[in-house]
Structure 1
Amino acid sequence: MTADDEQCFERIAQMEQQFHFERKLREEHAAAHAIALKILIADVPPQWLPASEIDFPSYIMPVYS
């Protein structure tokens, strides 16, 4: 294996670690937004939202694990 090969493998390993970190960060960010929106909806008077939006807000992005 050449030095270039080693550098490529090291770079791939770094990119994989970064990918997993960024994915986890995006998931945590989406979960925080969902919680914040649920809190906001809880504070909104019920007459401002249709009943379906109170239980299942259409604008909350799904969080994938």
Structure 2
Amino acid sequence: MRATKAAGRSVVWATDDPMHGNTLKASTGYKTRPFDRILSEVKTLHRGGRGRGSPPRR
């Protein structure tokens, strides 16, 4: 983000499905992901972007 901003570029930062990857296998055999992990990733993304002058938007 810093290098892109320093280069004077304007880009769109996009994220993929938060459930993609990093899953756990439940006893039922289904892939799952604890909500607290998803929420933590979203909060980290927002803090990181905001701190670099590029806050995530929807």
User: TM-score higher than 0.5 here?
Assistant: no
Q: Provide the TM-score with structure 1 as the length reference.
A: 0.34
Say which structure is richer in helix. Answer: 1
TM-score normalised by the chain length of structure 2: 0.37
Of structures 1 and 2, the one scoring higher in RCO (CA 8 A, sep 6+) is: 1
> Which structure carries more strand by proportion?
2
